[in-house]
Chains A and B, each alone.
Chain A
């Protein structure tokens, strides 16, 4: 396979913003991960009496303390608030100065699985008068109700706040949205359409309708007696995922553009590929075939072999089927190397925030590269014979990390793989 052509454009990460359960900025987030602490707890965002799963990973989010104005707080759904706060964090972190002349070369690519669900549901309760009326009362419609109905609003808010005037869009591919939105952004940079992309993902799904819909298919853990230990990816006693919320947004920049201004680079986007399993909207086959294909293709683009991968950030949702599916995919794509490289799931600590988690996991991967440390899989104590790789149980590990493979899998059959590399890794 040929290596990257000299002079080819490449996207690099120069700024990170994170809003995660247990960590409302990058520093706190990384501290949580390296301590192996979990942020899963009883649901407090609404009264979950009567629901099957009454636990979640919630963000201790204070919008006013995070700098949002009263009108922004009123207008924006929680997911939009997360995204804007993270975008501001990322832009500050990157050191990019606002430059109106550059607005046309700056775009936005945000991912989200369920958009403005909380706003939509809360407004529905009023308009339908507690679910009584199918013919909802339009006189109770708040002006920003339409903004809740269309998830593209999440991208609008970030674009307006950051002054971006280039290509702006919302990617919504279920639980791979967070990877796919960043991959899409990287492509736009490589094509030469933009030099900077504000890219990431957000979801705030801890709301009755979403909790109920996962209850209905028994996908979430019903381990209400022990919320802190309920998210158990790869463990033999795992019983479903723990719903989470949050966001991560990056400043993605063309490599030379970043170099010219002396920007700090966390990681380079070396490869990105998606496949569909075309099998079932929620079910996964145990062979992980299509995820393996996505991994192989991402590695080809990155011009790397299995031996180059230092860490795998797994999807690791903690459902019985996923963790087997994914383990098989790693083995199929990496062969024997799958047994040697550390693999971990941070969903064990921050839960599964649907579309957002893919970006939050990219942040964890970039920080793993920066700190040469791999986060652990918390709550991993009982070995499942079908999950027999090194999942870094319980404790973070110092580990030279130059290349990370991060993957995601989602409803609708989406399978995505991304390869990130330390800056200057392939410099001659």
Chain B
């Protein structure tokens, strides 16, 4: 399946933790840790839950963590996604 983009990540973050009036998700938040973005333990669990619902990935307990950044999340999830295969390979 297709890889996640940063926009996909932002959508999940919004759905999981809501819109913080003090933080602009459209600014460059890629390298800011979730803890610094104000995500508490429940919000991080919800991010994990949303990711696992939308994509065929199994994430470890406690991840994403407060020190995980959005770009790390993007990379890690994309690495777990099944690789897209072009053509009609059958075996």
Which of B7-15, B24-32, B40-48, B78-86 is the contact stretch?
A: B40-48
Find out whether the CB atom of A283 lies under 8 angstroms from the CB atom of B40: yes
Return chain A residues, CB-CB under 8 Å to B45. 216-218
Q: How far is the CB of A324 from chain B (nearest CB, A)?
A: 15
Query: Which interface class (under 10, 10 to 19, 20 to 34, 35 or more) fits B?
Result: under 10
Find out whether the CB atom of A280 lies under 8 angstroms from the CB atom of B49: no
Find out whether the CB atom of A218 lies under 8 angstroms from the CB atom of B61: yes
Tell me the count of chain A residues lying within 8 A, CB to CB, of chain B.
Answer: 7
Cα–Cα distance between A422 and B37 once the two chains are bound (Å): 52
Find out whether the CB atom of B61 lies under 8 angstroms from the CB atom of A217: no
Q: Does A44 contact B (CB under 8 A)?
A: no
Find out whether the CB atom of A281 lies under 8 angstroms from the CB atom of B61: no
Number of residue pairs A-B, CB distance < 8 angstroms: 12
Q: How far is the CB of A60 from chain B (nearest CB, A)?
A: 33
The A259-284 residues at the B interface (CB cut-off 8 A) are 280-283
Find out whether the CB atom of B41 lies under 8 angstroms from the CB atom of A283: yes
Q: How far is the CB of B2 from chain A (nearest CB, A)?
A: 27
Return chain B residues, CB-CB under 8 Å to A217. 42, 45
Return chain A residues, CB-CB under 8 Å to B40. 280, 283
Return chain A residues, CB-CB under 8 Å to B42. 217, 281-282
Return chain B residues, CB-CB under 8 Å to A216. 45, 49
Q: How far is the CB of A202 from chain B (nearest CB, A)?
A: 27
Return chain A residues, CB-CB under 8 Å to B61. 218
Cα–Cα distance between A281 and B41 once the two chains are bound (Å): 11
Q: How far is the CB of A309 from chain B (nearest CB, A)?
A: 33
Q: How far is the CB of A50 from chain B (nearest CB, A)?
A: 13
Q: How far is the CB of B41 from chain A (nearest CB, A)?
A: 6
Cα–Cα distance between A282 and B41 once the two chains are bound (Å): 9
Cα–Cα distance between A281 and B42 once the two chains are bound (Å): 9
Q: How far is the CB of B75 from chain A (nearest CB, A)?
A: 24
Cα–Cα distance between A78 and B42 once the two chains are bound (Å): 30
CB nearest to A216 among chain B residues: B49
Cα–Cα distance between A282 and B45 once the two chains are bound (Å): 12
Q: A217-B42, A283-B41 known; 8 other A-B pairs, CB under 8 Å?
A: A216-B45, A216-B49, A218-B45, A218-B61, A280-B40, A281-B42, A282-B41, A283-B40
Residues of A within 8 A of B (CB): 216-218, 280-283
Can you identify 5 A-B contacts, CB atoms within 8 angstroms?
A: A217-B42, A217-B45, A218-B61, A283-B40, A283-B41
The 5 tightest CB contacts between A and B, nearest first, are A217-B45, A216-B49, A283-B41, A282-B42, A216-B45
Residues of B within 8 A of A (CB): 40-42, 45, 49, 61
